[in-house]
Structure 1
Amino acid sequence: MGETVSFAEVIVDLSSRNTDRVFHYAIPPDYRDKIAVGSMVTVPFGNRHLTGYVVGFGIPPGEVRIKEIAGVIDEGPVFTPELLELARWMAENYLCSTAEAFARILSPRLQVKASRRADVLVYPALAGAEMEKALSLLGRSPKQLAVLQKAAGCPGLTKSELAAAAMTSSKTVDALLKKGLLKVSAVMPAYLQDAPGDMIKTGSLTLNQDQEAALREISASLDRGRFDVFLLHGITGSGKTEVYLRAIAAALETGRQAVALVPEISLTPQMVELFRGRFGGQVAVLHSALSGGERYQEWRRVKEGQASVVLGTRSAVFAPCPRPGLFIIDEEHEPSYKQDDHMRYHAREIALKRAQLAGAVVVLGSATPSLESFSRAVSGGPYKLLKLPRRVDERPLPRVRVIDLRQEIREGNRGIFSRPLLYALNGCLERGGQAILFLNRRGYSTVVVCRECGLVLKCPRCDISLTYHLEGRLRCHYCNHLAVLPGLCPGCGSRYIRHFGAGTQKVEEEARKIFPKARIVRMDSDSTAQKGSHQKILDAFRDGLYDILIGTQMIAKGLDLPGVTLVGVINADTALHMPDFRAAERTFQLLTQVAGRAGRGGLPGEVLIQTYSPEHYSISAAAAHDYEGFYRSEMAVRRVLGYPPFSHLARLLFTHEDEEEVRKGAEKSKELLDRLVSGRNCRVEILGPAPAPLSKIKGHFRWQLVLKGRRRENIKEIIREGLAELERDRRFKVAVNVDINPQGMF
């Protein structure tokens, strides 16, 4: 390495914006052949040694005192030039430090601090005459000689196994690795290895005309090797997965790799089976339910080119593919693609940026696309719309009935189950069918609804449902509007106005009382806490061991359960009246997705939706399987209120152990941002401050501000300047978290 590259440009692993820049470090002579752009190193910083990321080489300013790199964590690059550019874009787009972006991108690598902690296998790096020469040169190092001889005779041992076999320590193995006489390679995790006859090879299905047309468009873009985005709008059961699999095969034929994302871990086992049946050992799996070692092994297989197909949840979008050619996001509308803590990135945005940098193709698939995506596809925007309007084999969509719970109450039924749903469940069980009972209980507090007329109390300014708190007050968590819980309904004068809510455990308890002979299983975050429990429940249900599956949104999407002929939605209003401007969209999506679980086998399906708001357009459109009708209605509301896609939002979340401190911090920030907005004369509205809906978590109080504007750049500039000023104020002790285009306000 020449004199001009004797200094490395290093991003140091610090989250402070004040240190988010390149620092120069001298490269010691022993490391000059081991450090490249993308290497992870250890560097002195103040009185500490920190991890650093080498992002280039250059001459430092003459007046700066230069320290030396202290060590090399990874000699080879842990990130590609594309991922380096992505990290810089993330820092700019999500207002985080570049080091924070690297930490998110390299998470599977950083969970295993060095390769010696990972379950990797060791192989000789030399063969033939070169190996003989190396063995002869190690005559004076008997321990190293023994290790190299054992590695040559028994390749593929772990480091600890190799050290034990040679009757020495792992340090001796590390010494040979450093000399380049041994090499390590990640092994496919045991949970993915095939037992004899274990893997069922699946062949391609026959495509219908719509699938063929969609695949033709995607394949043509892959052949051209250019950045393109397709929105695959296919109704439930229309065969989107088969289009994904064919598109992946087309990407592999071009010599590039493919990344496919699913929104829920519960969907991963089913998709793994499909993907492995088509692509075998080329499939790597990345999701948070794996151990750190398992994720690292899969990450290494992708990085080293041993796995050309990546399947996983949100974080798999960062898979270190050498030449990514295709990114698929199944159920692209799902809010789970948004990271909801720390650095709040959106996997869809990351996939789009990676594809743009790599000249790759993005396929966004959904039966209920997000309004933002659909508007970009139908308004002459950057997305190309592909439609799958028919189910595979011309199977009909399920018949949907809307049950008015107000009428049930008037006629004396105040139970969880309406009479039509009880009748339908009885018939389903008598015929030997299977049923799903769905209740979305993501909520943390309840809405206030009149059970006589269906009125929901909303904020007069934000058109967002007011949230009931235990002290009996109603609060808007956007603008902090307060109201008192009325004794009578302001709409009809009824005394049946109450905060409302029931959970899955209550539904299960009632179902067991009413249907004592039915085999019932519940699937929610409580019942699936153990590793592998998702798949055990689904396998048992698919095998006919249960009659009724009760669950939350984890059972609402993507699952193919051919025996299900009846779906019952216990209360559609739980999602509809959440304090979120996306509540109607979420409701339509959930109802459409859960309805799509019915009638996927040979028998027709039926869906019953229980609601106090049967006239709401999100529910009537879902019952009619009418996405475009819902889109028109919801876009009219968004346009009037100035919500996305007609604007951009950002949320600043303030947290502190002292409630008064966090309130004062939020109010001070509001004053600062108001001043910055007026000084720039830009069209940014600041709502709040107000307590966050989850106003206290783990002993920390939470307040928030919401910024709304037409241009995302304006919002980011205001926040960036405001945060810089707050960081300089030593009296400001409140933690601030930035969420650009939040998917929820909780």
Structure 2
Amino acid sequence: MTDQLFADVLVDVPVPETGRTFQYLVPREIQPLLHFGHRVQVPFGGRKVTGYVVGLSHFKAVDKIKEISKLVDEKPLFREDQYALARWMAEYYLCDTVKSLQAVIAPVLKKTSARLITRYYCSVDSSKLPGLREELGRRAPKSLAALEKALLSPGLTRAGLAAAAGVSTAVVDRLCAKGLLKAKDQVSFRDPYPQAEMDVSKRVELNVLQQKAVGEINNSIAGRRHQVFLLHGITGSGKTEVYLHCIEQVLREGRQAVTLVPEISLTPQMVKQFRSRFGREVAVLHSRMSDGERFDEWVRIERGEAPVVLGARSAVLAPVRDPGLIIVDEEHEWSYKQEETPRYHARAVALYRAQKSSGVVVLGSATPSLESYCRATPDGVYRLISMDKRVEGRGLPRVGLVDMREEARAGNGGIFSRLLIAELQKRIAAGEQAIIFLNRRGMNTLAVCRECGLVLKCPRCDISLTYHTEGRLRCHYCNYSMRAPKLCPDCGDSQISYFGTGTQRVEKELRAAIPGARVLRMDADTTTRKGSHQQILEEFESGAADILVGTQMIAKGLDISGVTLVGVVNADITLHMPDFRAGERTFQLLAQVAGRTGRGDKPGDVLIQTYTPEHYSVQAAARHDYPAFFEKEMLLRKTAGYPPFSKMARVLVTGPEEGAVKTAAERLRVMLDEFAQGQDGGRIYLVGPAPAPLARLKNTCRWHIITWSQDYGQLHRMLKKFRRAGGCAPPGKGLHVSLDIDPFNLM
């Protein structure tokens, strides 16, 4: 032991070991200033790199040791519990700890800082005010006006005080120079939703099912017992009100609550509800906010000024010190999975954080993921709470299936069925509103027979084949391929078509089919500007439009009482994607979008256009029958050995030249085979390499390898060895390898 101080530093460079740190000597002049969590600059490999202090000691661990070059920030950027979270993320998702840490503390790493605003106050002793008023009234009435306004409204800015008093800013400056006004620099927090209602709203009276749900959850919160609840509530059953009541309980306990929503488009509506209940105690976090807004909200959370956090995926990383409740609304949504390193799933992070803090997790959904629902069965580890009735006795919408094969036989080759157009005309004439949902999460290359509805699939994988421009159909799991047939293999008809429709075309054909209809479109193109989600929804909710056309962002969460009809175009796109979750995603989308109607006084209807109305996912969604879907889908997953009966991972190789990408992927497959054979536990399955379904994206070629096993320990050990052996290092110039644990997107 020595009087010297040494720091363990996590350096911002790729290393084979996920959590490896390097020891540095702390210069004496910065020893009193340096603490755990500080960002520093250190020499590394002949260059200066950024590092993060994650340990301090008086024991020297290595012989040759370099000094820290400088302290980058005045204050530490993270706490020990945040570092522990980053280490868990890195270990579970097999990525660099420094990348996980940077994700955890992202808002404070941006080039932004607190915004200081100078505010003005009267500095005159109250006993001297009468005489000063008399003097200024005779000599300087404008100065008196400014002084009186500062007394009446302390804390105004220079310009604000001048404007309020009806004087120039020079008058304010003279009062400061004479010592009659004092200026104070204060932190001013940027509010991302200044228009949101801040008045505390009336408490809503809960129905019996809501009361039961709140009672169960609040018992665990009050008892400080870690518990996971799956709140399976049908659309319109009042799950949000349950969330709000449980958050109130958490605040009574002196703890914090985090609520996650899957889509940015849902955030304005939720902000309004949360702010009306909790006022300025609510902080909002999502990617569409400016860096300054996110930084300010982050600081308010860290200082304890905002114990209620609401936001999208990254909000699960908010710096709450004692999370007593984490709510994951629409927990089944795949947008909770991060597609860049670290590839974390917000639901998994929520479970980890709540377990560490003895907190409660509520997973809410009308269409739970199979992974969550099977854990909420009698033998599972989650507690299931069912809410199977809508609030105020409203009924579920009637769902009709439109067989587009019959439409084609009748000579209708357009996007819309005759029934859907007729129903839209009927609703508009009655002053009601409709939503047209375009199921566009897929590709324009789905091969379907318009006569019999056959979707061409891989004989090895039972995954739909993808059409390529060279005239071949290819499986993006095992690389099986075949020439695209001119005639249907089942019925011999020549009506083989390749489907894909955009929202702009839907909007255009709607206007042509129903002249005079007021149509709004909500998709990635119309929501690029800040606040555009909220603007479109408010315009539609106000009755300024008859029909809202949109993609996934309108499929959930919207509660607009005027909507009495939902039409679904291209229901089959997700159904036949080359992904084992295709059936699950289709059921979830159809059930969720169906829930957008009938939420007011009038009943709602849904029309689903499909070429495969007999498919179990479509049938179950039409009947609002989640248990039937769950039973059928779980049987198929068990037969194939897919999740939730196994854990899965994906190795993706990308690069500009397909030949080099393919060769690199083949070499990585050899490495994986070698490490898989060295495991002693359960069998590890490997398929590929094969071109990813999106085989070329932004001029980048993409090949992948899929691996899964019922023994997650074995799979994790194999992948850890693979990473240590350099499997995730760039395999050549311009090439990149990514490893995704629990992938939700295999495209």
TM-score of the aligned structures, taking structure 2 as reference length: 0.89
Letter in 2 for 1:723: R
Distance 1:729 1:105 in 2: 23
Larger mean Cα displacement after TM superposition, 546-555 or 688-697: 688-697
User: What residue in structure 1 maps to residue 142 of structure 2?
Assistant: none
Question: Per-residue displacement from partner, 1:271-298 (whole Å, max 9, x unpaired)?
Answer: 1111111111111111000111111111
Shift of 1:487: 1.0
Distance 2:576 2:116 in 1: 50
Distance 2:728 2:307 in 1: 47
Shift of 1:726: 3.2
Structure 1 segment 625-664 matched on structure 2, within 5 A: 625-664=624-663
Q: Is the 8 A contact 2:199 2:277 kept in 1?
A: no
Letter in 2 for 1:740: I
Q: Is the 8 A contact 1:14 1:20 kept in 2?
A: no
Q: Note the aligned Cα RMSD (angstroms).
A: 2.5
Letter in 2 for 1:576: L
* 2:221 alignment partner, SS class: helix
User: What residue in structure 1 maps to residue 150 of structure 2?
Assistant: none
User: What residue in structure 1 maps to residue 132 of structure 2?
Assistant: none
Distance 2:686 2:444 in 1: 25
Letter in 2 for 1:227: H
1:23 aligns to 2:22 (yes or no): yes
Shift of 1:119: 2.7
1:192 aligns to 2:193 (yes or no): yes
Q: Is the 8 A contact 2:251 2:307 kept in 1?
A: yes
* 1:231 alignment partner, SS class: strand
User: What residue in structure 1 maps to residue 147 of structure 2?
Assistant: none
Distance 2:184 2:76 in 1: 15
Q: Summarize the Cα distance change of 1:731–1:228 in structure 2 as closer, same or farther, 3 Å threshold.
A: closer
Q: Is the 8 A contact 1:489 1:497 kept in 2?
A: yes
Distance 2:635 2:643 in 1: 11
1:726 aligns to 2:726 (yes or no): yes
Shift of 1:26: 2.5
Q: Is the 8 A contact 2:654 2:703 kept in 1?
A: yes
1:380 aligns to 2:379 (yes or no): yes
**Number of positions where the alignment pairs a residue of Structure 1 with one of Structure 2:** 692
* 2:669 alignment partner, SS class: helix
Q: Summarize the Cα distance change of 1:183–1:352 in structure 2 as closer, same or farther, 3 Å threshold.
A: farther
1:332 aligns to 2:328 (yes or no): no
User: What residue in structure 2 maps to residue 145 of structure 1?
Assistant: none
User: What residue in structure 2 maps to residue 487 of structure 1?
Assistant: 486
Q: Which consecutive unaligned segments of at least 5 residues does structure 2 have? A: 124-153, 159-168, 170-182
Percent of matched pairs sharing the same residue: 52
Letter in 2 for 1:645: P
Letter in 1 for 2:743: P
Distance 2:250 2:29 in 1: 41
User: What residue in structure 2 maps to residue 235 of structure 1?
Assistant: 234
Shift of 1:470: 1.3
Shift of 1:67: 2.7
User: What residue in structure 2 maps to residue 745 of structure 1?
Assistant: 746
Distance 2:45 2:583 in 1: 52
Structure 1 segment 359-374 matched on structure 2, within 5 A: 359-374=358-373
Larger mean Cα displacement after TM superposition, 21-30 or 220-229: 21-30
Structure 1 segment 164-313 matched on structure 2, within 5 A: 187-193=188-194, 199-313=198-312
Structure 1 segment 33-48 matched on structure 2, within 5 A: 33-48=32-47
Structure 1 segment 69-84 matched on structure 2, within 5 A: 69-84=68-83
Distance 1:5 1:621 in 2: 69
User: What residue in structure 2 maps to residue 697 of structure 1?
Assistant: 697
Q: Summarize the Cα distance change of 1:602–1:727 in structure 2 as closer, same or farther, 3 Å threshold.
A: closer
Structure 1 segment 573-612 matched on structure 2, within 5 A: 573-612=572-611
Shift of 1:662: 0.8
Distance 2:224 2:193 in 1: 31
Q: Is the 8 A contact 1:4 1:58 kept in 2?
A: no
User: What residue in structure 2 maps to residue 559 of structure 1?
Assistant: 558
User: What residue in structure 2 maps to residue 119 of structure 1?
Assistant: 115
User: What residue in structure 2 maps to residue 176 of structure 1?
Assistant: none
* 1:192 alignment partner, SS class: coil
User: What residue in structure 1 maps to residue 464 of structure 2?
Assistant: 465
Shift of 1:108: 1.1
Q: Summarize the Cα distance change of 1:613–1:702 in structure 2 as closer, same or farther, 3 Å threshold.
A: same
Q: Summarize the Cα distance change of 1:728–1:573 in structure 2 as closer, same or farther, 3 Å threshold.
A: closer
Q: Is the 8 A contact 1:244 1:328 kept in 2?
A: yes
Letter in 2 for 1:591: L
Shift of 1:18: 5.2
Letter in 1 for 2:544: L
Q: Summarize the Cα distance change of 1:345–1:44 in structure 2 as closer, same or farther, 3 Å threshold.
A: same
Q: Summarize the Cα distance change of 1:727–1:499 in structure 2 as closer, same or farther, 3 Å threshold.
A: closer
1:50 aligns to 2:49 (yes or no): yes
Letter in 1 for 2:692: A
Q: Is the 8 A contact 1:82 1:357 kept in 2?
A: no
Structure 1 segment 387-426 matched on structure 2, within 5 A: 387-426=386-425
Structure 1 segment 494-513 matched on structure 2, within 5 A: 494-513=493-512
Larger mean Cα displacement after TM superposition, 309-318 or 674-683: 674-683
Distance 1:691 1:184 in 2: 58
Distance 1:220 1:78 in 2: 35
Distance 1:336 1:19 in 2: 25
Letter in 2 for 1:663: K
Shift of 1:200: 4.3
Question: Per-residue displacement from partner, 1:660-707 (whole Å, max 9, x unpaired)?
Answer: 111100001111111221232441111000011122223321110000
Q: Summarize the Cα distance change of 1:194–1:418 in structure 2 as closer, same or farther, 3 Å threshold.
A: closer
Distance 2:496 2:661 in 1: 33
Question: Per-residue displacement from partner, 1:125-169 (whole Å, max 9, x unpaired)?
Answer: xx9xxxxxxxxxxxxxxxxxxxxxxxxxx98989xxxxxx9xxxx
Letter in 2 for 1:469: H
Q: Which consecutive unaligned segments of at least 5 residues does structure 1 have? A: 128-153, 159-164, 166-181
Q: Is the 8 A contact 1:186 1:298 kept in 2?
A: no
Distance 1:84 1:508 in 2: 49
Q: Summarize the Cα distance change of 1:157–1:430 in structure 2 as closer, same or farther, 3 Å threshold.
A: closer
Distance 1:123 1:476 in 2: 65
Q: Is the 8 A contact 2:115 2:189 kept in 1?
A: no
Distance 1:79 1:662 in 2: 39
Q: Summarize the Cα distance change of 1:726–1:156 in structure 2 as closer, same or farther, 3 Å threshold.
A: farther
Distance 1:676 1:183 in 2: 64
